[in-house]
């Protein structure tokens, strides 16, 4: 829902979210609209005196959470930088991008990036465009509402999906899982990576992982990957985790009636949630789901941590 890095802000404001806004190192502020431009450094010691590159982010303290930086975005952006060899030349889409720093870091590293956020939030999408222009980055901007299957969804074929603090409102969890699963099954070898703040919805996430045939394989505290200079810039008691989701692939073994490991075979969706599917898509996915329920191996692996 936002982006972040090691940055400093000259103004502070309360927000509608429960987690605090991080303090940062270099910012210009407009008093008229409470708009800040924060500079975020990456590489070496990630300071203004020693870095490989920086990204400028436009934040508005008068808007809702899609318009300013959140701690999980700092963690995810740092992950992108540390795993830069994986992002160079990759096709990347960020879900719930907000201020978009993780996706912008990927673009700086040479990825082909699409930034997405709620199609009903034009002010957020407009701000994303301004941020891209400010950083001279040519990213595509798309309005996508989780759980709604429209033409922009079918245009996406990312190798890597990113999402910073997208597990915020529990009412959106199932639609998010549906959207992620749909995009992963359309792109062979794709992966979803997200950093999220564990507020209170962890049990619901576990339930939905089972429903959508996901499996948790790793847990890692997001702060474990952070350089000390960035970790110290985060305020408050923040418990964050880094998440990696990949598809499980299956093939028939020597027994015709069973599926085993070997050559890879793509599998489709295997769960239907409270998403806004058209009758046609719902019937197709329900058929897939019925077929998949007979296979005792998960369709996706839900990995929490940084996987090698």
Give the pLDDT confidence of 121-148 residue by residue, as tens digits.
999 999 999 999 999 999 999 999 998 8
Distance of CA 251 to the CA centre of its chain: 29
Q: Are 120 and 147 in contact (CB under 8 A)?
A: no
260 or 203, which is more confident: 203
pLDDT band with cut points at 50, 70 and 90 for residue 219: low
pLDDT band with cut points at 50, 70 and 90 for residue 196: confident
Burial classification of residue 243, based on how many CB atoms lie within 10 Å of its CB (0-12 exposed, 13-18 middle, 19 or more buried): buried
Is the pTM here over 0.85, yes or no? no
Asked whether the predicted pLDDT for residue 6 surpasses 90, the reply is: no
What pLDDT does 144 receive? 92
pLDDT band with cut points at 50, 70 and 90 for residue 207: confident
* Domains, the chain: 68-304 (3.40.50.150)
231 or 218, which is more confident: 231
Mean pLDDT, to the nearest integer, of 279-292? 42
What percent of the chain is modeled with pLDDT above 90?
27
C-beta neighbour count of 273 within 10 angstroms: 17
Angstrom distances, CA of residue 66 to CA of 95, 122, 166, 298: 12, 11, 11, 33
Could you give the 3-state DSSP secondary structure of residue 63? coil
Tracing tokens 């950083």 back to the chain, one arrives at 135
62-120 pLDDT tens trace: 656 668 788 888 889 999 999 999 999 999 999 999 999 999 999 999 999 999 999 99
Asked whether the predicted pLDDT for residue 258 surpasses 70, the reply is: no
């Amino acid at each position: 829902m936002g982006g972040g890095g090691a940055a400093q802000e000259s103004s502070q404001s309360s927000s509608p979210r429960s987690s605090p806004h991080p303090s940062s190192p270099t910012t210009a502020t407009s008093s008229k609209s409470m708009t800040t431009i924060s500079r975020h450094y990456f590489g070496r010691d990630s300071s203004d005196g020693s870095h490989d590159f920086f990204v400028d982010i436009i934040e508005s303290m008068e808007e809702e959470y899609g318009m300013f930086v959140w701690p999980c975005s700092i963690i995810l952006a740092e992950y992108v930088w540390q795993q830069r060899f994986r992002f160079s030349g990759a096709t990347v889409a960020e879900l719930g991008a907000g201020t978009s720093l993780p996706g912008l870091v990927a673009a700086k590293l040479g990825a082909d990036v699409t930034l997405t956020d709620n199609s009903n939030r034009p002010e957020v999408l407009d701000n994303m465009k301004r941020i891209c222009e400010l950083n001279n980055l040519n990213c595509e901007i798309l309005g996508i509402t989780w759980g709604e299957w429209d033409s922009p969804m079918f245009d996406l074929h990312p190798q890597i999906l990113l999402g910073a603090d997208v597990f915020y409102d529990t009412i959106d969890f199932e639609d998010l899982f549906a959207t992620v699963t749909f995009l992963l099954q359309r792109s062979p070898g794709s992966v979803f990576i997200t950093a999220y703040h564990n507020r209170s919805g962890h049990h619901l996430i576990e339930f939905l992982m089972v429903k959508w045939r996901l499996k948790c394989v790793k847990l890692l505290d997001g702060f474990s990957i952070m350089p000390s200079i960035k970790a110290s810039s985060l305020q408050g008691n923040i418990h964050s985790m880094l998440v990696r989701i990949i598809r499980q692939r299956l093939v028939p073994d020597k027994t015709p009636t069973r599926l085993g490991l070997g050559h890879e075979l793509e599998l489709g969706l295997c769960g239907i949630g409270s998403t806004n599917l058209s009758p046609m898509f719902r019937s197709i996915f329900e058929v897939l789901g019925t077929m998949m329920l007979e296979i005792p191996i998960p369709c996706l692996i839900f990995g929490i941590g940084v996987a090698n």
